[in-house]
Amino acid sequence: MKKISNIAVIISVLILSVVPMVGLINSADAQYTGLQGTPQSYGLPQWMERVNMIIRWVYTIFLVVAVVFVLIAAFQYLTSAGDKDKVKKATNMLMYAAISIVVAILAFSITKIVGSLVGESNV
């Protein structure tokens, strides 16, 4: 059990450490040309686009971690060998993973619904 949770933590840390590096790969080709005056100010649509991009990344990472926990719970259930405590623990873990997936989907859907009601097209 501890090995599985340790592996899940290691995988999560690796995923969270690799994602920022992907952004660095794209910026490695950028050329610095010095200061070019006043930076451009962002309006509400640009800020909303950035916030939505961050929300999509967090949502994707959250769902990947939830699926990993579903797989861990299934593995625990299969290796419980009929032990009531292990079966109960795997069932609870599976239930919590399913609840977290439903909450994530609802949270993403609610932002889309509220955005469409407000009239924001890029939410």
> What's the first-to-final CA gap in the chain, in angstroms?
41
Q: What are the pLDDT digits (tens) for 33-84?
A: 666 666 666 777 777 788 778 878 888 888 888 888 889 988 998 998 888 9
Q: Residue 97 burial (CB < 10 Å; 0-12/13-18/19+)?
A: buried
pLDDT of residue 15: 62
d(CA 59, CA 48): 16
Global pTM value: 0.54
* 16 pLDDT tier (thresholds 50, 70, 90): low
Instruction: Give residue-wise pLDDT tens across range 60-73.
Output: 888 888 888 889 98
